[in-house]
Structure 1
């Protein structure tokens, strides 16, 4: 998996026939051990390596080419948010899922803007981790309800920024944004819009370019920041 700086989102993978390669990044040995046991206990997952900080994570991904990185956020040397930014720039097809103890909106917003595809807490069960991994690879997202509540509360308290990016989107693109916020998969969106999947993905990438983002979760963040009329 060589570096690629073009904007993109992870392609939908056929996870029914492919072993999912997972890397773990956390500075606490006990947490790495628990996550290691999680991965080993779940069918279809393979642990390819561990790192103790964001800097090691960059080396680990380059060396082992995982499909998914389970990323802690607060670590020495290079934290998880900074590491996610670097990984998403070099490997836009890589799926990164935040796995942390923090629900403060500072961490939630920072992780989403960095480009994570899911946000879980460290007390998540093996089945929740498995669900988040498979959801992300299917083009869906999973965010812990406590983290989501913190994010919504911070949005409600904030002043809306200047500008109207909603008006810059075409009618079809606005429909896609609404459906993404409603949790629809890429295929479900294409079906609902009576469009082909490749055509829908081209429109999704156009939305990313317009909003200056590169993941579905970031659409949710921007929808909250600018008060997009997603329920109209």
Structure 2
């Protein structure tokens, strides 16, 4: 973003009332303009490519899609676009996943308009902004997980996320909701995990995962 220019903001959220409310908020803020909005991953990526926002406000639960995946794709294809997550999800996997995907900030949907404005300006200026409800946890998560080697290097990052939730006792439907994925996508990931870990079923996968510290008893 060039000095003195308006901050170009896009909004990605599958809830129309919240999305339109956020668009309206942005239009009231000095030095900002909303350049578009989207409700799913595909539209979000197209929007980032066509409208060149400085900041994308990203929800993580996009109906059957994942805002983490949208963040990863946008940051990979358009590295000058920054992402500020604004979501209801405050679990450790969501926070860690969003930051690993390239998000520059993380706010919960209870944030005030002033906090959202501060977050947009911060990430547009190249800073990292973590809301008070997640800041300390995010630092601890990134430090702890970065200092330890990832278990099962043969798995993709998404497969490790799925395996961690399998080991935590969640079924495929719950995992799909937690990661904002289609149930069929989760089933495919689970099948791939079985093949790569050379296990026959879910019970064996859970044992292997917990031996490496994933999930819990």
Aligned to 1:112: 99
**Runs of 4+ off more than 4 Å:** 152-160
Unaligned runs of 5+ in 1: 1-12, 164-232
Q: Report whether the alignment pairs 1:122 with 2:122.
A: no
Could you tell me whether the CA contact under 8 Å between 1:73 and 1:100 is conserved in 2? yes
**C-alpha RMSD of the superposition:** 2.2
Aligned to 1:132: 119
Instruction: Give me the TM-score of the superposition, normalised by structure 2.
Output: 0.63
Could you tell me whether the CA contact under 8 Å between 2:48 and 2:81 is conserved in 1? no
Could you tell me whether the CA contact under 8 Å between 2:13 and 2:19 is conserved in 1? yes
Structure number with higher relative contact order (C-alpha < 8 Å, ≥ 6 residues apart): 1
Q: Report whether the alignment pairs 1:73 with 2:56.
A: no
Tell which structure's C-alpha radius of gyration is larger: 2
Give how far 1:153 is off.
5.9
What CA distance in whole angstroms lies between the structure 2 residues aligned with 1:159 and 1:43? 38
Unaligned runs of 5+ in 2: 151-217
Aligned length: 150
Q: Report whether the alignment pairs 1:56 with 2:43.
A: yes
**Which string of whole-angstrom CA distances, capped at 9 and with x for unpartnered residues, describes residues 95-148 of structure 1?**
111010111111000000000011011121222111111111222111012112
Instruction: Give me the TM-score of the superposition, normalised by structure 1.
Output: 0.59
